[in-house]
C-alpha cells in the first residue's frame, strides 16, 4: 500500500467516525426532547402517521378531492409549527434536532459536486503529520511552562537592553502569532545559542495551532533531510517531502546541524521554495548566526530564510542551568 493510500484509508475511517459520532449526538438529543417534552413525542408520532396517509392518498387515490389533501397538508404544517414552538419555548435552538455535519460542504461524505472535498485532503495531511510527529516532543511544551525568570534582568551593555526584555518580546510575539495563526501567516526564523527556548516556543506555537484544527509537522532538519534523501533515491515508499510541503505549518529545528552532503542544499531548497510558492508558513530554528548561514548556504536559501520575521534568542543556556 502506498503512503497516499494509507492516509486516504485513515481519512475515510475518520469520516465514518464523524458520521457515527454525529448520529449518536442527534439520537441522544432526540431522546432528551422526547423524555422532557412528551407532547413533542406525540406530535412527532402523529406527524409520521399523517405523512404516511398523505403519501398513500397521492399514490393510490388519484380521484381524491383536493380538499382532503389540503386538510392533511395543513394539519402537518400545524403540527410542525407546534413542535418548533415546543422546542424553542423550552430554550433549545431551532436546529437542535437537525442533522449534524462536521463538514458542511460534503456533509461528511467526502465528496461534493462529484469531487473530493477539501476536508479529505485535510484529514490526510493530519494523518501524515501525526505519523511524522510521533517521535517528536510535540506535546511537551506550552506557553504557560516558558519561564522568563531564567533570563537576566540586567542591562547587557552590548545590546543596551536586558536579555529578559528581549526574550519577553519574543515570547509575546510567538504567543500572539499562535493565537492569530492562519495559513497566510508570515514565517519565523529563530536564531540563537542552544538552550534558549527556540524549540520550546516553537512547540508552544504548534500546541496552540493544532488545537485550532491546523495540521503541523515538527522535525529536525538533519532527520528530515535523511528521510527525504532516502525517498528521493527510491529506498522508501513514504512521501515525507509531499507532506512537509502541504501541511499548514512546518517547524524545522536545528537548521545547520545537518551533515554537509552534496544533495542536502538542493533538497532543502526544494522544501523551502515549495512552501513559499504555496504561500504556507514555516518556523525555522538554528543555533547558527547569520554569517555562518550565509557561508553555508547559497543565496537562494538564506535570502528566503531572512525574509521571515527574525527573532534573536539571547541569554545563558537554560537547559544547562536546569541540570545544575
From 189, 210, 186, 316, select the one nearest 256 (Cα to Cα).
189
Evaluate if residue 234 carries a pLDDT over 60. Answer: no
User: pLDDT tier at 1 (50, 70, 90 boundaries)?
Assistant: very low
Residues 6+ apart with CB under 8 A from 191: 198, 285, 286, 287, 288, 289, 290, 310, 311, 312, 313
pLDDT tens-digit profile of 183-199?
999 999 999 988 899 99
**What cell was used for 142?**
506550552
Q: Mind listing the pLDDT tens digit for each residue in 93-103?
A: 999 999 999 99
- 210, three cell numbers: 493544532
111 Cβ neighbours under 8 A, 6+ residues apart: 117
> Which domains does the chain possess?
3-112 (no CATH), 136-323 (3.40.50.300)
Percentage, residues of the chain above pLDDT 70: 88
Assess contact for 221 and 254: CB atoms under 8 A: yes
What number is the average pLDDT over the span 83-105? 92
- Which pLDDT value is given to residue 137? 59
- The DSSP annotation for 128-197 comes to HHHHHGGGS-TTS--STT--GGGS--SEETTTTEEHHHHHHHHHHHHHHHHHT--TTPPPEEEEE-TTSS
The answer, yes or no, to whether residue 136 has pLDDT greater than 80, is: no
Residue 31 pLDDT > 90, yes or no?
Answer: yes
Using only the alpha carbons of the chain, give its radius of gyration: 29
Q: Which three cell numbers stand for residue 71?
A: 386538510
Where is pLDDT greater, at 136 or 170?
170
Residue 217: name the closest of 280, 310, 304 by CA: 280
Q: Which three cell numbers stand for residue 40?
A: 413533542
pLDDT at 16 over 80: yes
Q: Which residue has the cell 496552540?
A: 208
State how beta strands 282-286 and 249-255 pair.
parallel
| Share above pLDDT 90 across residues of the chain, in percent, rounded to a whole number | 45
71: left (phi over 0), alpha (psi -120 to 50) or beta: alpha
Threshold 0.85, pTM exceeds: no
218 or 283, which is more confident:
283
> Are the C-beta atoms of residues 231 and 238 closer than 8 Å to each other?
yes
Tell how strand 115-116 and strand 111-112 pair up: antiparallel
Averaged pLDDT of the chain? 85
- State the CB neighbour count (10 A cutoff) for residue 117: 19
pLDDT at residue 24, rounded to an integer: 95
- Grid coordinates belonging to 222: 538533519
DSSP result, 11-24 = HHHHHHHHHHHHHH
DSSP 21-44: HHHHHHHHHHHHHHHH-HHHHHHH
Model confidence pLDDT, tens digit, residues 243-299: 888 889 999 999 988 888 888 888 888 899 899 899 999 999 999 888 888 888 878
* Cα gap 146→140, rounded to integer Å: 11
Per-residue pLDDT, averaged over 52-79, amounts to 73
pLDDT over threshold 60, residue 135 = no
The count of other CB atoms within 10 Å of the CB of residue 6 is 16
pLDDT at 205 over 60: yes
How far is 110 from 103, CA to CA, in rounded Å? 9
Alpha carbon distance 38, 289 (integer Å): 72
Average pLDDT over residues 164-188: 96
Amino acid at each position: 500500500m502506498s503512503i497516499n493510500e494509507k492516509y486516504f484509508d485513515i481519512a475515510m475511517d475518520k469520516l465514518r467516525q464523524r458520521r457515527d459520532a454525529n448520529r449518536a449526538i442527534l439520537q441522544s438529543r432526540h431522546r432528551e426532547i422526547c423524555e422532557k417534552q412528551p407532547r413533542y413525542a406525540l406530535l412527532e408520532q402523529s406527524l409520521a402517521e399523517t405523512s404516511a396517509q398523505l403519501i398513500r392518498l397521492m399514490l393510490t387515490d388519484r380521484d381524491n378531492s383536493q380538499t382532503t389533501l389540503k386538510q392533511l397538508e395543513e394539519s402537518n404544517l400545524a403540527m410542525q409549527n407546534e413542535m418548533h414552538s415546543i422546542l424553542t419555548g423550552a430554550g433549545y435552538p431551532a436546529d437542535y434536532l437537525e442533522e449534524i455535519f462536521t463538514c458542511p460542504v460534503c456533509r461528511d461524505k467526502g465528496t461534493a459536486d462529484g469531487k473530493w472535498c477539501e476536508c479529505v485532503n485535510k484529514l490526510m495531511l493530519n494523518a501524515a503529520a501525526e505519523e511524522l510527529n510521533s517521535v517528536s516532543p510535540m506535546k511537551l511544551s506550552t506557553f504557560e511552562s516558558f519561564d522568563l525568570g531564567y533570563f537576566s534582568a540586567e542591562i547587557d551593555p552590548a545590546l543596551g537592553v536586558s536579555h529578559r526584555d528581549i526574550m519577553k518580546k519574543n515570547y509575546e510575539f510567538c504567543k500572539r502569532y499562535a493565537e492569530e495563526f492562519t495559513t497566510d501567516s508570515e514565517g519565523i526564523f529563530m536564531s540563537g545559542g542552544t538552550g534558549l527556548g527556540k524549540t520550546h516556543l516553537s512547540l508552544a506555537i504548534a500546541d496552540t495551532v493544532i488545537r485550532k484544527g491546523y495540521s503541523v509537522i515538527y522535525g529536525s532538519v538533519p532527520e528530515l533531510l535523511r528521510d527525504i534523501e532516502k525517498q528521493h533515491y527510491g529506498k522508501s515508499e513514504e512521501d515525507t517531502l509531499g507532506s512537509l510541503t502541504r501541511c499548514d505549518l512546518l517547524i524545522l529545528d536545528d537548521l545547520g546541524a545537518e551533515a554537509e552532503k552534496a544533495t542536502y542544499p538542493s533538497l532543502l531548497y526544494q522544501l523551502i521554495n515549495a512552501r513559499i510558492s504555496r504561500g504556507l508558513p514555516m518556523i525555522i530554528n538554528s543555533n547558527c548566526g547569520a554569517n555562518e548561514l550565509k557561508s553555508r548556504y547559497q543565496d537562494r536559501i538564506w535570502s528566503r530564510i531572512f525574509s521571515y520575521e527574525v527573532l534573536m534568542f539571547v541569554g545563558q543556556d537554560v537547559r544547562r542551568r536546569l541540570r545544575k
